[in-house]
Amino acid sequence: MKDKNEIVIEIGDTVQAPEPNDSDTYLYEFTGAVQGFHDKFVTVRDGEDECFDIEPERLEITNE
């Protein structure tokens, strides 16, 4: 899977999750760590230790 800049996403990458849209289960923009992949989604863990499935093309790798 690739992020919005066409960079391959790997487990452990740090990514920026965008402002949520109506179908998202998270409530805010955040930076998190890639935990894995689920169907067409990337599972991202936020700073509060919660995981969310997000479309890869909406993410941006930051690896800070």
User: What's the whole-model pTM score?
Assistant: 0.92
Task: Give the tokens for residue 12.
Answer: 């452990």
Reading the chain (64 residues) residue by residue, the pLDDT tens digits are 999 999 999 999 999 999 999 988 999 999 999 999 999 999 999 999 999 999 999 999 998 6
The count of domains in the chain is 1
Range of the domain at 22: 14-61
CA 32, 11, 2: angle at the middle one, nearest 5?
A: 85
Residue 6 in any domain: the answer is no
Residue 42, in any domain of the structure: yes
The answer to whether residue 40 is domain-embedded is yes
- 2 occurs within a structural domain: no
